[in-house]
């Protein structure tokens, strides 16, 4: 006997997907379509949050299974405030995120909901991702263990724990910290706090298409002072072991080198290498201080799908 849609809605947890957006209307529509096309018997509600932009109300829909709500960020400008605006408005049992450059791949929501349903003590589930776009070939990335702990994350940011790859219980009450300068690194700080409550569950399922693209709002070439400030904020808030300290101190060193603050850069290069000798960020920062163009370094990192 085929289950009626109304019964499926009642027996499957509702899922909200927060999509923060800023000046990317074409990509936003692709993202929204990938969420609405998820094969899942329950409600999947997309919450599009416009951050410092005029909302496109034509995207709103009252479809009973795939509703779309369009909001403006009424909190702190930036990714943290936009995500929190959507989180607080979701009204669903589970909530995920999808940046307006990324795509949900088939099966993502079902795979993650299944884990949360079977593991009541799990609060956050992360999936694997497929990096695509521009000059890089499609590349799949996983975290090679089923759970990521707070101690694991103190060693440094893991880019595979991308916010667009997360699904969490709304009852956890988790929100993004809006005090981080410019919302830089807010995703890392979020998962660090989340893992402090319960390990983050990683499943070996590629559910996210992560677009490697031009126009990132956090390019170090354009935002070096902000990145330096945010990384120092992180170092002041958390007591990191050597590896984690080097990770964030190296970001400060590179940002200060890009800003042509040679003396400050050298000070942070030294601090980084004391914590972790031959740290790659410190070496890249040193290269910039002796005259290697930062744009050249970023171009080559970009070619392999890596950042600083």
pLDDT tens string 195-247:
999 999 999 999 999 987 655 556 788 899 999 999 999 999 999 999 999 99
Assigned token pair, 84 = 């929190």
Calpha distance 281→274 (Å, rounded): 13
pLDDT tens string 235-244:
999 999 999 9
Name the nearest CA neighbour of 68 among 59, 81, 55: 59
Q: Per-residue pLDDT for the chain (308 aa), expressed as one digit of tens each? A: 344 455 656 689 999 999 999 999 999 999 999 999 999 999 999 999 999 889 999 999 999 999 999 999 999 999 999 999 999 999 999 999 999 999 999 999 999 999 999 999 999 999 999 988 765 567 888 888 999 999 999 998 788 899 999 999 999 999 999 999 999 999 999 999 999 999 999 999 999 999 876 555 567 888 999 999 999 999 999 999 999 999 999 999 999 999 999 999 999 999 999 999 999 999 999 999 999 999 898 888 777 667 77
Q: What CATH code is assigned to 5-211?
A: 3.90.550.10
Calpha distance 151→219 (Å, rounded): 28
State the SS3 of 188-208: HHHHHHHHHHCCEEEEEEEEE
Rg over CA atoms, the chain: 20
């Amino acid at each position: 006997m085929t289950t009626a849609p109304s019964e499926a809605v009642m027996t499957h947890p509702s899922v909200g997907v927060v999509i923060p957006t800023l000046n990317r209307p074409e990509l936003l529509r692709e993202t929204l379509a990938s969420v609405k096309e998820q094969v899942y018997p329950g409600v999947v509600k997309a919450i599009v949050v416009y951050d410092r932009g005029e909302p496109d109300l034509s995207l709103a829909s009252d479809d009973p299974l795939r509703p779309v709500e369009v909001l403006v960020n009424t909190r702190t400008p930036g990714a943290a405030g936009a995500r929190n605006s959507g989180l607080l408005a979701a009204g669903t049992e589970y909530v995920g995120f999808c940046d307006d450059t990324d795509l949900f791949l088939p099966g993502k929501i079902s795979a993650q909901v299944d884990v949360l349903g079977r593991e009541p003590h799990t609060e956050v589930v992360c999936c694997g991702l497929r990096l695509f776009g521009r000059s890089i070939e499609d590349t799949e990335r996983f975290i090679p263990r089923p759970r990521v702990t707070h101690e694991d994350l103190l060693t440094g940011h893991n880019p595979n724990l991308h916010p667009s790859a997360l699904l969490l219980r709304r009852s956890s009450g988790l929100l993004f910290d809006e005090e981080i300068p410019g919302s830089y690194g807010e995703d890392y700080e979020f998962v660090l706090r989340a893992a402090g409550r319960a390990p983050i569950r990683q499943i070996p399922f590629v559910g996210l298409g992560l677009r490697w693209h031009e126009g990132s709002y956090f390019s170090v070439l354009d935002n070096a002072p902000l990145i330096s400030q945010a990384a120092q904020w992180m170092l002041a808030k958390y007591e990191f072991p050597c590896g984690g300290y080097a990770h964030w101190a190296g970001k400060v060193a590179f940002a200060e080198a890009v800003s042509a603050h040679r003396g400050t850069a050298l000070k942070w290069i030294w601090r980084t290498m004391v914590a972790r000798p031959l740290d790659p960020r410190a070496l890249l920062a040193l290269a910039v201080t002796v005259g290697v163009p930062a744009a050249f370094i970023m171009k080559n990192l970009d070619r392999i799908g890596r950042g600083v």
